[in-house]
Amino acid sequence: MADKLVRAITEDGKFRAIAIDATEMMKEVATFHDASQLGTTILGRALIGSLMMSNAILKGEERLAVSIDGQGPAGKIVVEASAQGEVRGYVTNPQVTLPLNAKQQPDVAAAVGVDGFLTVTKDYGTDEPFTGKVALATGEIGDDLTYYMAKSEQIPSAVAVSVLVDPDGSVVTAGGFMVSTLPDATDEDIDQLETRLGNFPAISTQMMEGYTPSDLLHNLFGDEKVQILTTTEVNLYPAITKHEYARMLATLPLNELQTILAEDHGVEIVDRFTGKVINFDETELQAIIASKDATGL
């Protein structure tokens, strides 16, 4: 069953919301990098949060890139997401391991760290992308995206992301929601929402009980108070093909390619998004060089 993202608005026009079930996608992601339980949790939170944020602030073919670097042992987290529901990302140290935190859960905050920034670059399809940057708030990722939405986008929001991973690294559930205030929301409305959020059952618990993204929002606001606007399938970006990597290699200077051929007799490329290894043997590299040399580049 395909993963879904739903966009909704409360019937009183005071809040808009996005909710997502990304369980199947995360099951696939978990196989890519031989990641630890903690590494999969971190990447999943970043992928889900970025998908929701892209659907909240982008439109059409626009996309964004999220970089989280808190100087923690997990290293840097990089995600690309689109308004069309596609996403990909990686953690530079996906095998990171730490003791469980005080709540006996994967210690995402300690692994990510807070000595750094969350950076979002929005690509509008023009020559001038927009970049926003905020200091990391907690390293929990959901909190940091909440802080970014308020400070950089000027959209007060609550971002909740959940990835439940078994100790063996297999994904049980993955999902989340984002609620943003609209101009008609009063301080009292916001206080009431914060109370509901504080008492809201764990996302993973609800998902294990079979609740869908729409159900999560109905549970939060009440059955009669939410209007579902759109439903979008979410998927990983298609993997980069060997042909596309050959085109990338061909952009290198000719003398650099010739040096690689003489010294290494081929090229091994590791796709950071999927962990897959792409090899170009001596003959294939010679063909790239010959084609480049023939064009005079």
User: What pTM was estimated for this model as a whole?
Assistant: 0.92
Q: What is the pLDDT of residues 111-132, one digit of tens each?
A: 999 999 999 999 887 777 889 9
Side chain identity, residue 261: L
Question: For 77, phi and psi rounded to 5 degrees?
Answer: -115, 130
Place of tokens 């007060």: 156
pLDDT at 1: 62
Q: Tell me, which fold does domain 4-236 have in CATH?
A: Hsp33 domain (3.55.30)
> Per-domain residue ranges for the chain?
4-236, 242-295
Residue 31 pLDDT > 80: yes
The CATH class for the domain spanning 242-295 reads: alpha beta
The mean pLDDT of the chain is 93
How many angstroms separate the CA atoms of 40 and 33, rounded? Answer: 9
**Any residues with CB less than 8 A from the CB of 107 and at least 6 apart, and which?**
38, 98, 99, 100, 101
pLDDT at 297: 54
**Rounded (to 5) percent helix, strand, coil in the chain:** 35, 30, 35
User: In this prediction, what percent of the chain has a pLDDT beyond 70?
Assistant: 99
Closest of 24, 20, 19 to residue 2, by C-alpha = 24
Question: For 98, phi and psi rounded to 5 degrees?
Answer: -145, 160
Q: What is the pLDDT of residues 85-96, one digit of tens each?
A: 999 999 999 999
Cβ atoms within 10 Å, residue 164: 23
Q: What is the mean pLDDT of residues 52-66?
A: 93
Helix (H, G, I), strand (E, B) or coil at 77: strand
Residue 223 pLDDT > 80: no
Question: For 53, phi and psi rounded to 5 degrees?
Answer: -65, -40
